[in-house]
Amino acid sequence: MTCRRLLTLVSILWIALAVLGEIVFENHELRFVIMDNGLVGSLVYKPDNRECLSDDAGLPVCVITQYRPYDNENFLMYPANPRSFPSNKAWVCGDTLMLEFADTYDIAKIKVDVTPDYISFNLVDRDYRIEDYGVKRKTELDEFKLLQLPVSDMPRFGEWLNVVWDDSVAVALVATDPATFIDGDRHRGHTVLSASTLSEVRLYDSGAALIVTHPDSLLDRIASLEEDFDMPRGVESRRGEHYLRSYYELRGVTLDNIDRNIELAQEAGLTTMVVYYPDFARACGHYQWRDEYPHGLEDLKEICRRITDAGMIPGIHIHYSKIAVTDPYICDGTPDRRTNVVSRYSLSQPVDADADTLWVIERPENVRMEDGRRLLHVDDELIMFADVKKTAPYAFIGCKRGMYNSSAVTHEPMSEVRHLDVDDWPLFIRIDQNTDIQHEIAERLGQIYSDCGFRFVYFDGAEDVPMPYWYNVSRSQLEVYNSLDPAPLFAEGALKSHYGWHILSRGNAFDIFAPERIRQAMRRYTLRCAEQVACDFTSVNFGWVNYLAPSDKTIGMQPDIFDFICSKALAWDCPISLVANVPEIERHPRTSDNFQTISMWENLKLSKSIPVGLKEAMRDPMREFMILPGGEHDIVEVTQLTPDSLCMIDPVRAFAFNRDSLSTSIVYWHCNGESEITLPCPDADVTLQTFEGQPLDIRRLDSGELLIPASSRRILNISLPFAEAVEFFSRRR
């Protein structure tokens, strides 16, 4: 316990009194009242004297849940369903809140600590009263709702962090331990914030903290909580100078091409760079070195050194909660038994080495039938089955023996048949988080991370863990996170869990969308996610953005697409990520334009100088903005004039904006090369300039028509109102 915490516990003024049927816990910001009948009473934000709870909820402060009635008299009275028993009496003994419950014999003991920043609650024990008649025993306790609060309706609910807030107050109930289940349930007029412990994870010595403060102070309060409970420093990461930086995600990186990748990243204005583990490792698990890395770790260290020497920050993108079927954990002839299983069976009779049927005692239920996922583990053999027989006698049929370098051998009756938890991407098998294999993998990753000088991490495959999800997602991440030295500047991941808020300080990236679909996909997913996690005081990654050159199948990535992505990312204070397909980058004729666009937006975002009103406008999913070279805030709202058709159909892309009511500018370019555009004889002044603003000559044909070049971006200025200028440009050929 820190000196600060000792001083806090000694010096803080807090009250826990049973006065007029009330138990009061308070610090300088909040007053929390529990009624002596076990109900939630009041939660006041003291600076504004504002009541934060709904006045009509009438909730018990704590609830015991049993998955069936266990007590002798209770199961004689009630159906065999899960049953909840609310707290009905409360009192204080020292720093411990004591509670009784209706129709049970439990007395819960909750240690309460009041600090200037939060009040924490921790279930430490329970007493059990046995009456002097009947057959009684200390019954099971499956779930314990440590605290539930019906918080009055407010416009913002951060579901990940578990905070309800408006412009003047924030009410948060957050876990102090990864084993605490945190939830928020929206109702009409209020949101119930709750914290629970579960017997399947850890019933005792897990807790939660209540914070009531001004929204501007919430991260300060959580920072204190993270320090006191030695949590990952999620607040420090979000406030770090590198938090807004976008990254360049390497593909196929080796010592031969890292320097070219660095040049490209710098051209795009990207100052952080990610190494994807399949580039250096044969498979996840043991992370054995690929042939392209003949000196193993030394080659990877050299790549990271060059990134660092270029003034960039290296990060690593990993799978960590599963192992590849090609890794020695699986394919060395003795498959590791620390893999997770979907279901278990027992052989009902011997199995010869050449048999294609496994007869089992149990009826095969909960089996996965997707290709690649029908994998069984018997002794040291891996077997792929084709189908199951669900009528007695039960069997797995159509078996392929000796999979993944294992040997087909004889198996005795009653041998265990393990139906493995093969990933839905069947190159991997998920690991059992209740064994030590996650720690083993974490140490291996930590060594690579520290030796090479990586500074941030992407936790990919975060969803690939067994139930309970809410626990194992952050549990597995925390095991790896704690092995990383120094602690990551920031982290992203594929799935969020409540405790993971402290680990994944930058949310997640989305999977790759095609250029033609990226606007619609971002409106449907990324922008919604950005708005959602902003309520959690967090950003989301506006990526991954795959780089494709135009072809007969796609328009490729174009400058306006990057304008859309980067403007929306800036509007929500978020990074982007660029997947660096170097051959596509080199082949694309508009790469310089694309990278100029990314660089300008990135520099503007990092300057933090854009006006708030403009950022708010750019958050509108349907409004399009373009950044122009020049002034610090030279951002214009544009209208698309050309369809998203393939370059062979219409090679020109064009966007228009107003300079004033009587003049219009059109930014245009050729998607996939260069040509010339013929414009009709104008009835207005028409000038041409480079995208950077340098004047260009326009050829006038004998017919009076205008001939302008189309290649990289140019700006056509027309002294006509918007509608007339657009109509004039539409008559091009």
**One domain for residues 480 and 540:** no
pLDDT tens digits along 84-115:
999 999 999 999 999 999 988 889 999 999 99
**One domain for residues 659 and 607:** no
What pLDDT score was predicted for residue 130?
67
**Domain containing 494 — which CATH number?**
3.20.20.70
Residues 322, 423 contacting (CB under 8 angstroms): yes
What pLDDT score was predicted for residue 165?
98
pLDDT tens digits along 498-511:
999 999 999 888 98
**One domain for residues 527 and 625:** yes
Count of domains in the chain? Answer: 4
| Domain end call among 585, 600, 632 | 632
Strands (E), 361-499: 375-378, 381-384, 387-389, 394-397, 416-420, 428-430, 456-460, 491-493
Q: Is residue 330 part of a domain?
A: no
Q: Is residue 239 part of a domain?
A: no
Q: Is residue 397 part of a domain?
A: no
**One domain for residues 497 and 531:** no
**Domain containing 222 — which CATH number?**
2.70.98
Q: Is residue 106 part of a domain?
A: yes
**One domain for residues 593 and 672:** no
Q: Is residue 421 part of a domain?
A: no
DSSP state of 523: I
Q: Is residue 414 part of a domain?
A: no
pLDDT tens digits along 605-657:
999 999 999 999 999 999 999 999 976 668 999 999 988 776 667 799 999 99
Rounded mean pLDDT, 164-183: 98
Q: CA–CA separation, 38 vs 148, rounded Å?
A: 12
Residue range(s) defining the domain that contains residue 669: 641-730
**One domain for residues 226 and 277:** no
**One domain for residues 129 and 109:** yes
| Domain end call among 588, 606, 632 | 632
**Domain containing 709 — which CATH number?**
2.60.40
**One domain for residues 486 and 599:** no
Q: Is residue 507 part of a domain?
A: no
Q: CA–CA separation, 231 vs 225, rounded Å?
A: 8
**One domain for residues 205 and 283:** no
Burial 436-468 (b: 16+ CB within 10 A, else e): ebbebbbebbbebbeebebbbbbbbbbebbbee
Rounded mean pLDDT, 136-164: 93
Q: Is residue 221 part of a domain?
A: yes
pTM of the model: 0.93
Q: Is the pLDDT of residue 133 over 60?
A: no
**One domain for residues 546 and 651:** no
Q: Is the pLDDT of residue 598 over 50?
A: yes
The angle that helices 437-452 and 297-309 make with each other, rounded to 10 degrees, is 50
**One domain for residues 645 and 628:** no
**One domain for residues 450 and 598:** no
pLDDT tens digits along 330-374:
999 999 999 999 999 999 999 999 999 999 999 998 899 999 999
Q: CA–CA separation, 269 vs 248, rounded Å?
A: 10
| Domain end call among 464, 479, 502 | 502
pLDDT tens digits along 299-338:
999 999 999 999 999 999 999 999 999 999 999 999 999 9
Average pLDDT score over the chain: 93
